[in-house]
Chains A and B, each alone.
Chain A
């Protein structure tokens, strides 16, 4: 029997940008959607993010990047997850991500990119669908 349990999400800001308004709004929004949200703070390296995700046994990592370095940082997180054998964690991206970069990021394994203005409910639904899917498997 799969019990009802809170979905665990890690919200992380990789790289050097200091703008975490969006990350904080999302943290609160997902909390209100009934999830346990771990916020790790600014200026995280991909190594730190992946280590925290493993220790916290999260279902989802949400990466927020407004500095333009997403094409480097997001795939680096994916690579480390693979290395550590944690590829089953769903990774979402957000921030200022140009449309033309999205295909590459998805190819690297980022499940979805949510830009500014996305209703939080959509993000929560996307997460729930994926977690439900996984627990069926």
Chain B
């Protein structure tokens, strides 16, 4: 594909166009991903997640500055939420990253979640790949402001940084599952505010009791991203975590697991699309659907009825084949 070739030669516009196509899920996407595949695996990816207003964008901005001073190129994906009502979104993370606007070594892309509920758009992983293929050394992914369970980021990147702010609750909050478990590094940001030291201590003591963490001790850092305090240390710990993953073989393991997951999701998505396509043209399937819609039958019985009928499945495969949806 010409667009992919141009992107691999360093064309920003082509990269940008490709990201849009991946976001939209156009028919060219499988071909695009096939063609960039040989160029993947060189970038290191780091996710920054945490509650809204905790300073994620500023942390990303400051980490980028350090990476640039070391001669690394950086790709940034900054995610903000899509409205469940209108489908619109305000993407405002770039505002904190102004110092990098004119730096050719930094590519910033804002993404809306577009229907995903895990803190990341479904297509974020593919966009990380495009930035990797484009030649960025470091890819920073900033999630939407998350609560406790939007944990997709963990499965998309190599290192996960969780940013928290003081006054976000008492000890019990740090003991809870979810967000508190996925951090490879904690940054207690806005650490000039009261309660920061207390939060650091509480996180540390909660981590000490965690039986899963033996080889990598999750560091808890106090940072003030706006004032550039503690960011050098954060960057160092990021590098240290990378080194740990690489030398222990965990990085390969982690990426293997992610690839497996990705295949599963790709297949699930295709099957879902096939079913939705069939729904529109197959009267039998549509009738089954209506039974559930009208509460005449429970979804489990209908699923059994549909999936257990070999003749039907055969018939549908033939329809999908004539549609060109399967070979």
Give the contacts of B10-37 with A (CB-CB under 8 A).
Answer: 12-13, 16-17, 19-20, 23-27
The total of interchain contacts (Cβ-Cβ below 8 angstroms) comes to 86
Q: Is the CB of A37 within 8 A of B89?
A: yes
Cα–Cα distance between A99 and B32 once the two chains are bound (Å): 47
Q: Is the CB of A6 within 8 A of B112?
A: yes
Residue A86 is within 8 A (CB to CB) of chain B in the complex: yes
Contacts A3-B26, A57-B19 known; A52 to B89 CB distance under 8 Å? Answer: no
Q: Is the CB of B16 within 8 A of A28?
A: no
Q: Is the CB of A54 within 8 A of B16?
A: yes
Q: Is the CB of A54 within 8 A of B112?
A: no
Residue B266 is within 8 A (CB to CB) of chain A in the complex: no
Q: Is the CB of A39 within 8 A of B88?
A: no
Q: Looking across the interface, which residue of chain B has its beta carbon closest to that of A51?
A: B101
Interface of A is mostly: mixed
Contacts A38-B94, A47-B102 known; A55 to B16 CB distance under 8 Å? Answer: yes
Q: Looking across the interface, which residue of chain B has its beta carbon closest to that of A85?
A: B13
Q: Is the CB of A6 within 8 A of B90?
A: no
- Report which of B23, B88, B94, B107 forms a contact with A33, defined as CB distance below 8 A: B88
Residue A5 is within 8 A (CB to CB) of chain B in the complex: yes
Q: Looking across the interface, which residue of chain A has its beta carbon closest to that of B88?
A: A31
Residue B109 is within 8 A (CB to CB) of chain A in the complex: yes
Q: Is the CB of A6 within 8 A of B114?
A: yes
B33 to chain A, nearest CB (A): 18
Chain A interface residue number, banded? 20 to 34
Cα–Cα distance between A48 and B102 once the two chains are bound (Å): 6
Q: Is the CB of A57 within 8 A of B86?
A: no
Q: Is the CB of B16 within 8 A of A57?
A: yes
Contacts of B17 in A (CB 8 A): 57
A75 to chain B, nearest CB (A): 20
Question: Which among A6, A28, A38 has the highest number of chain B CB atoms within 10 Å?
Answer: A38
Cα–Cα distance between A115 and B304 once the two chains are bound (Å): 60
B15 to chain A, nearest CB (A): 8
Residue A30 is within 8 A (CB to CB) of chain B in the complex: yes
* Interchain residue pairs A-B with the least CB separation, the first 4: A31-B88, A41-B95, A57-B16, A48-B101
Known: A39-B91, A57-B19, A84-B13. 9 other contacts (CB 8 A): A28-B90, A32-B88, A38-B91, A39-B90, A41-B94, A48-B98, A48-B101, A56-B91, A86-B13
23 A-B pairs in the complex with CB atoms less than 8 angstroms apart: A3-B24, A3-B25, A3-B26, A6-B82, A6-B87, A6-B89, A6-B112, A8-B20, A32-B83, A32-B86, A32-B88, A34-B86, A34-B87, A36-B82, A36-B89, A37-B91, A38-B92, A47-B101, A48-B101, A48-B102, A51-B101, A55-B108, A57-B16
